[in-house]
Amino acid sequence: MEDLWFASASEIARRITGRSVTAVEVAEAFLKHIAVHDRLLNSFLNVMTDQALDAAQRVDDALRAGRPPGPLAGVPVAVKDLIDIAGMPTTAGAHRRFHTMAHEDAPVVTRLRDAGAIIVGKTGLHEFAYGVTNANPHAGSVRNPWDRSRTPGGSSGGSAAAVAAGFCAAALGSDTGGSIRIPASLCGITGLKPTYGTVPTSGVVPLSWALDHLGPLTRTASDAGLLFSVLAAIPRPAEEIGRGIAGLRIGIPRHFFWEELDPEVEAACRQAVGTLAAQGAAVLDVVIPHAQDAGAAATLILSVEAAAYHERRLREHGEAFGEDVRAKLDRGLFVSAVDYILAQRARAFLTREFIQTLRGIDVLVTPTTITPAAPLEGSDQTASSLAMSQEYTRFTYPFNLTGLPALSVPCGFTAQGLPIGLQIAGRPRDEATVLRVGHTYQQVTEWHLRRPTLD
């Protein structure tokens, strides 16, 4: 059964549907793995043992009764703990004063359950999803499975660490400035931020209504497509994903997106572009003239919207926030309405610029992050947390601002054994092409198959 810990979601569903293993056996194996090893990583805030076993039993019952169990039959999935699951607290990684009890499932959880997925637990995050380190003063830090002294990235760091460690085959994350793609990159897994609005965000603690996205963290791009089809309630783009990339036009925005990189990140990502070219894609240099301003617009919008959502909590219980998150929230109270609208206008301007660039190409390819995973030590300090947010969101923010779909896939490791991620972004609602590039890359590379040593 241990061979399934690192199997893809589709492989697990195939074996359960084919009756070579039961959903209960799979759930038990994953729950045991979590129980033994998660004390090292702290990726889960809540493990839902009884609920998972009950759900697995229902999948097995459906199979015995000849009812279709769904495309995620028996697949263990974890859920970031800002997404409501009925009967469970939603902590948002915050002080217990701010925890709420969910009375119904968020729509994304309902869709996962309807597809046969087994929810195994709720994962840790940066407080209120407002940061990239996952150093959390309330719940403790989540640790990177590849080096436990380092950050898993965030804010969906628990979800990424759990998938990387083999605690689940997939996980749900949210992404407001890079919070799916950054931890996917730093933990050596695959993460998809879909097009803005394609996956419902109700039943989820918001950070910024204009920038929030939900999406899957998985082992493979193919699995990301499977999860995305369930979350967005659309047909699975399996055929499209498997078409190969011969003739596809890949744009490389060298200005801004390929500057100031860690040398090992740059080398790995350049090699990945070469691999894509070898598969028949045309690689073209492109220029997005004002790409470097996307982070400014996104930061202003996020600051104001997060402050608006948390204003009452800041007034009444400001002491209950971690220092870094409180500073980020407080700053939003000082932005003028004119500056907020200025940022929204900049967003329209930049979105037009990105989409115009994508008229001549099929996807943009960039590094996901400027550097690999940083040490956790000191990352809980306000100045460090703020600096890391700026650094790690540099290449991911633009796709939150513009709402374009973006995928991170593993593309190498540093000499110290830290994962490196490649970002692939595409046109609005063209997840299929983005996933097609990621899948083709994973057909000819093995970075996504590497496993961390947990003992």
Partner 1 sequence: MTERNDPATLTREQLEVIARTRGYEFSPDRLTAVLPEVRRLRALAGRLRMLPLDDLPPAMTFTPP
- Judged by the rule CB under 8 A, the positions of this chain that interact with partner 1 are 195-197, 210, 290, 293, 296-297, 299-300, 303, 315, 318, 323, 326-328, 330-331, 333-335, 339, 341-349, 351-352, 355, 382, 386, 401-404, 428
Contact between residue 77 and residue 117 where contact means Cβ atoms under 8 Å apart: yes
Nearest to 430 by CA among 260, 232, 296: 232
- Minimum separation from the CB atom of position 426 to partner 1 (A): 13
Q: How many CB atoms lie within 10 A of CB 19?
A: 10
Catalytic residue among 8, 179, 385, 408: 179
Residue 342: which of 311, 297, 303, 381 has the closest Cα?
297
Measured from the CB atom, the residue of 238 and 327 that comes closer to partner 1 is 327
Minimum CB distance to partner 1, residue 391 (Å): 14
Single-letter amino acid code for the residue at 243: R
Cβ at position 356, least distance to partner 1 in Å:
12
Residue 144 CA neighbour count, 13 Å, CB half? 28
How many Å separate Cα 268 from the centre of its chain?
21
Taking the C-alpha atoms of residue 183 and residue 154, their distance in angstroms, rounded to an integer, is 5
CA proximity to 122, closest of 144, 99, 151: 99
Q: Which is nearer to partner 1, 286 or 327 (CB)?
A: 327
Query: Are the C-beta atoms of 258 and 252 separated by less than 8 Å?
Result: yes
Q: How far is the CB of 218 from partner 1 (least distance, A)?
A: 24
Is 328 one of the annotated active-site residues of the chain? no
CB of 333 to partner 1, least distance (A): 6
> Which residue do the tokens 């093995």 mark?
446
Q: Closer to partner 1 by CB, 37 or 290: give it.
A: 290
Phi, psi of 352, rounded to the nearest 5 degrees:
-60, -40
The question of whether 155 is a catalytic residue gets the answer yes
Instruction: With both helix axes pointing from N to C terminus, report the angle between 49-64 and 9-17 in degrees, rounded to the nearest 10.
Output: 50
Element (H, E) at 32: helix 23-41
> Which one of 8, 10, 43, 80 is the catalytic residue?
80
Cβ of residue 355: shortest distance to partner 1, in angstroms? Answer: 7
Q: Which is nearer to partner 1, 239 or 339 (CB)?
A: 339
Structure-block tokens of residue 294? 């996307």
Amino acid at 215: G
Q: Which of 8, 43, 141, 155 is catalytic?
A: 155
Phi first, then psi: give them for residue 378, nearest 5 degrees. 85, -15
Q: Please, are residues 378 and 151 in contact by the beta-carbon 8 Å criterion?
A: no
**Cα dihedral value 21, 105, 218, 443, nearest 10:** 80
Q: CB nearer to partner 1: give 54 or 260.
A: 260
Compare residues 15 and 347 and give the one whose CB is closer to partner 1: 347
Q: In the complex with partner 1, which residue's Cβ is closer, 57 or 381?
A: 381
State the CB neighbour count (10 A cutoff) for residue 15.
19
Q: Find, among 389, 362, 395, 388, the residue nearest to 303 by Cα.
A: 389
Q: How far is the CB of 130 from partner 1 (least distance, A)?
A: 12
Which tokens in the block code for residue 234? 């659309």
Least distance to partner 1 from the beta carbon of 384, Å? 13
Q: How many residues does the chain have?
A: 455
40 vs 342, beta carbon nearer partner 1: 342
Would you please indicate which residues are annotated as catalytic (active-site) residues? 80, 155, 179
